[in-house]
């Protein structure tokens, strides 16, 4: 048994050797997700889903604290409704799934499975909103959406995925803009505080913005292979959907006006982001705040361990549990401690506690950090406070390490020769001046595979000419190869 399992754990491709292979191995071996019989659809297994549940709770708390409420809109959108907003349908129609039959009958009108819900929600808002007193409307939805993807990868790009989509309506342009930025801030805070994932906030270029938006903001993170990942987006929709769906209200001055809207979303793709940002050759490394188990206790199986070591381990578990630490005790006797160490490292549990005869003798517990493998013995009486401190430190250290990595992999250049050379490898973020023209952006993408991730909010100064053309630069852009 033990032999079979050791082989199982070591089946992971080293991260340094093949990042993409390593990613798929971790997803599979840590039992985060599995492939389904439907092309491009994954199964989120319990361990992966537990991570998503913790992310959901942390996001939902933030949504409610900023005045949002949840609701649920239908999975189906009539074709005619999707077609109302021209840019929106152009962006989404090529990648939707079509329902053409219900029960025994051919449908008179085809239904789209929602790729996003602006259309159906817009139609309902038109019905619900009468007066400025009804505004703002601040609704979020937790749901599944479907986009018919050609190339898929678990969590990162799947035909069906889980997400939340916020949809708000406001009296004024300024309020909508503030909301779009507020939610971008919520996303940044969530990514950095919960996922230990430093992100760059910025505005998307015209060519990368959401189909139907006035402008799109995003947060972008740098993964362990120095590719960028779009971690969340927040759109200012202006009055585009309001005009199409006739969402009007009687204003304070009695005039009839169209509402101003936003929408914003984050998805299960973030589980993939966490894997790629923190993991190493031994597997997953989970930030404590989203770890299903923050601590695993492994008893050393010596002599009559079930009478001596097990009760000691159980009392440690119960204390941690009572203090609100998510802890599991691995008391299986068919596996060696060494095998268990490897399995729980693969699963990324932040802290391992080892309990052996010597530890009991010294009235202590040995702690091992997953991220740097540092070992520290805690006196038995101080296990709870010791573990709590350790978990905070790990959370902070993972964030700091990711910041440092990003710094190392962020470069600036104004020379296109240098830019092209860099993009032959994987330079991370390259900050370069850009003329603001879509044609130039497209040429850069075609010539180097790099895209503009976003135009940072921090307002980097620019006095140069565009990295590619002769025109004066309008702003600095974050370029990268991305997921």
Give the interface with its own copies as residue ranges (CB under 8 A): 34, 36-38, 41-46, 49-50, 52-53, 69-78, 81, 94-104, 110-111, 113, 120, 123-124, 127-128, 133, 139, 143-144, 146, 148, 150, 159-160, 162, 334
**Least distance from C-beta 328 to its own copies, angstroms?**
12
Residue 95 vs 389, nearer CB to its own copies: 95
Q: Between residues 223 and 274, which has the closer beta carbon with respect to its own copies?
A: 274
Nearer to its own copies, 108 or 470 (CB): 108
Given a contact cutoff of 8 angstroms between Cβ atoms, the answer to whether 291 and 326 are in contact is yes
Torsions phi, psi of 255, nearest 5?
A: -75, 160
Note the helical H segments in 327-382.
337-346, 357-361
Q: Which is nearer to its own copies, 67 or 338 (CB)?
A: 67
* Residue number, 161 or 434, with CB nearest to its own copies: 161
For residue 32, give both structure tokens. Answer: 């985060």
DSSP letter, residue 198: -
Q: Whose Cβ is closer to its own copies: residue 327's or residue 444's?
A: 327
Q: Whole-number minimum distance, CB 443 to its own copies, in Å?
A: 27
Are the C-beta atoms of residues 352 and 341 closer than 8 Å to each other? Answer: yes
Q: Tell me the closest approach of the beta carbon of residue 394 to its own copies, in angstroms.
A: 24
Task: Provide, rounded to whole angstroms, the least separation between the CB of residue 111 and its own copies.
Answer: 7
Minimum gap (Å) between residue 37 Cβ and its own copies: 6
Which two tokens mark 251?
């204003």
The H or E element that residue 178 is part of is helix 173-193
The torsion angles phi and psi of 283, rounded to 5 degrees, stand at 130, -140
Q: Which residues contact 157 (CB under 8 A, 6 or more apart)?
A: 149, 151, 269, 483
| 8 A C-beta contact, residue 97 and residue 112 | yes
- CB-nearer residue toward its own copies: 38 or 256: 38
Residue 429: helix, strand or coil by DSSP? strand
Structure tokens at 167: 């949809």
Structure tokens of 50?
Answer: 């537990």
Cβ at position 79, least distance to its own copies in Å: 11
> Least separation, in Å, of the C-beta of 378 and its own copies?
28
Place of tokens 């840019």: 87
Do 98 and 110 contact (CB within 8 A), yes or no? yes
């Amino acid at each position: 048994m033990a032999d079979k399992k050791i082989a199982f754990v070591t089946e992971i491709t080293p991260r340094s050797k093949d990042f993409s292979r390593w990613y798929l191995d971790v997803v599979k071996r840590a039992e985060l997700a599995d492939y389904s019989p439907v092309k491009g659809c994954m199964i989120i297994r319990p361990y992966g889903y537990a991570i998503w549940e913790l992310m959901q709770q942390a996001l939902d708390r933030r949504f409610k604290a900023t005045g949002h409420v949840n609701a649920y809109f239908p999975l189906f959108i009539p074709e005619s409704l999707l077609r109302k907003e021209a840019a929106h349908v152009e962006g989404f129609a090529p990648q939707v799934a079509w329902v053409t039959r219900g029960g025994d009958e051919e449908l008179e009108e085809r239904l789209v499975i929602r790729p996003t819900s602006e259309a159906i929600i817009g139609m309902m808002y038109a019905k619900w909103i009468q007066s400025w007193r009804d505004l703002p409307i601040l609704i979020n939805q937790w749901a599944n959406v479907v986009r018919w993807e050609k190339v898929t990868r678990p969590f990162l790009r799947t035909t069906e995925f889980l997400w939340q989509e916020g949809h708000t309506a406001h009296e004024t342009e300024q309020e909508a803009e503030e909301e779009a930025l507020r939610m971008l801030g919520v996303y940044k805070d969530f990514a950095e505080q919960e996922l230990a994932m430093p992100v760059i906030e910025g505005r998307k270029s015209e060519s990368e913005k959401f189909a139907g938006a006035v402008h799109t903001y995003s947060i972008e993170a740098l993964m362990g292979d120095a590719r960028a990942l779009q971690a969340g987006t927040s759109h200012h929709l202006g009055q585009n959907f309001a005009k199409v769906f006739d969402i009007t209200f009687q204003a304070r001055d009695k005039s009839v006006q169209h509402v101003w809207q936003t929408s914003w979303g984050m998805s299960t793709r973030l589980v993939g982001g966490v894997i790629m940002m923190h993991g190493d050759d031994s597997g997953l490394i989970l930030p404590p705040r989203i770890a299903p188990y923050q601590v695993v206790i492994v008893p050393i199986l010596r002599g009559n361990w079930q009478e001596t070591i097990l009760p000691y381990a159980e009392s440690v578990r119960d204390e941690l549990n009572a203090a609100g630490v998510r802890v599991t005790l691995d008391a299986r006797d068919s596996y060696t401690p060494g095998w268990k160490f490897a399995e729980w490292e693969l699963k990324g549990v932040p802290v391992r506690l080892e309990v052996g005869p010597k530890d009991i003798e010294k009235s202590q517990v040995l702690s091992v950090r997953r991220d740097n493998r540092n070992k520290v013995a805690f006196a038995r009486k101080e296990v709870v406070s010791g573990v709590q401190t350790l978990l905070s430190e790990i959370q902070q250290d993972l964030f700091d390490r990711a910041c440092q990595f990003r710094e190392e992999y962020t470069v600036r250049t104004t020379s296109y020769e240098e830019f092209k050379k860099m993009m032959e490898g994987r330079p991370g973020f390259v900050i370069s001046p850009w003329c603001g023209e879509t044609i130039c952006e497209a040429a850069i993408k075609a010539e180097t595979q790099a895209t503009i991730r976003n135009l940072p909010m921090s307002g980097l100064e620019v006095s140069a000419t565009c990295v590619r053309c002769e025109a004066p630069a309008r702003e600095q852009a974050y370029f990268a190869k991305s997921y």
